[in-house]
């Protein structure tokens, strides 16, 4: 069993990003990232702080627009419009989830697709589906880079993606399909999850359910990508896979924490650099 070390790979990517930033700065270009945070959700706030810290370490200019949960939709759209027009900003992302009174689709569609470093704008979603150059959502992008780092080729493999969110599950399935895998997508309405996971060569799961994937649900030598992250009663973080009992059957598995999580921020930084280069014609 081999651990897929996302922490180590993310460091390599972030070091490369830092070098790219230094090269851009020699040409008087400093990449900029704007983050919009609405409300005071602890998980969202912690994640935004991690993004800001990563930007600072890489030399990327970053700004966080913090807004109360009571803010109206028009105010958020005004900020996005300002960031769209700001020539110092290369990437814009809205931290999700948003409060219930805000229409997430309207907000995401307001972002300039050329600054959509989260890859959630329908324009970029469509280009990913078509296999065209685009901004790829950071978490699925990170998973693909992790597979590549360990010479795991999805081509011809049976892959089960558990979870069908617009942020992770759907783009994950699309990227794997583009890599010529045979993709099976499961979700909350799937009748018999075990029937699907048992025949999979690779399982990618990200639904936020502790120990959803158990030992009797996977075959020998399976590759497990655990995208879930859950905080349990003792305060520790675990994924969606029963790591202790499942790992012994795996050929490869991601740990939680230290697997997919670090890759998400690394790929966000990589997307921001890509945007800066695109916008400056480099």
Report residue 159 CA to chain centroid gap: 18
Nearest C-alpha neighbor of 212 from the set 236, 196, 235, 234: 196
CA distance 225 to 205: 6
CA distance 88 to 211: 44
Number of residues written out for the chain:
282
Report residue 236 CA to chain centroid gap: 21
**First CA to last CA across the chain, in angstroms?**
42
Half-sphere exposure (Cβ direction) of 176: Cα atoms closer than 13 Å:
28
The per-residue DSSP string of 28-84 comes to: T---EEEEEEES--HHHHHHHHHHHHHHHHHT-EEEEEEE-TT--HHHHHHHHHHHH
Between 42-58 and 6-26, two packed helices, what is the crossing angle to 10 degrees?
A: 50
Active site amino acids: 51, 95, 118
């Amino acid at each position: 069993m081999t651990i897929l070390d996302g922490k180590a790979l993310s460091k390599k990517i972030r070091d490369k990003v830092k070098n790219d930033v230094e090269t851009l700065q020699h040409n008087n270009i400093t990449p900029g990232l704007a983050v919009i945070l609405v409300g005071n959700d602890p998980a969202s706030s912690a994640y935004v702080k991690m993004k800001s810290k990563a930007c600072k370490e890489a030399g990327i200019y970053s700004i966080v627009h913090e807004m109360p949960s009571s803010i109206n939709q028009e105010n958020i759209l005004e900020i996005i419009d300002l960031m769209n027009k700001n020539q110092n900003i290369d990437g814009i992302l809205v931290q999700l989830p948003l409060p219930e009174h805000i229409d997430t689709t309207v907000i995401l569609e307001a972002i300039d697709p050329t600054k959509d470093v989260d890859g959630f704008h329908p324009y970029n979603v469509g280009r990913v589906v078509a296999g065209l150059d685009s901004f790829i959502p950071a978490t699925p992008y990170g998973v693909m880079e992790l597979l590549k780092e360990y010479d795991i080729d999805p081509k011809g493999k049976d892959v089960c993606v558990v979870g069908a969110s617009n942020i992770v599950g759907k783009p994950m399935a699309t990227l794997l399909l583009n890599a010529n895998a045979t993709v099976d997508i499961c979700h909350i309405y799937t009748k018999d999850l075990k029937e699907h996971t048992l025949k999979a060569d690779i399982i990618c799961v990200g639904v936020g359910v502790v120990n959803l994937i158990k030992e009797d649900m996977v075959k020998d030598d399976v590759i497990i990508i655990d995208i879930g992250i859950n905080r349990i009663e003792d305060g520790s973080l675990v994924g969606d896979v029963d790591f202790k009992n499942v790992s012994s059957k795996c050929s490869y598995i991601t740990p939680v924490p230290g697997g997919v999580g670090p890759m998400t921020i690394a790929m966000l930084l990589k997307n921001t650099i890509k945007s800066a280069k695109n916008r400056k014609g480099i």
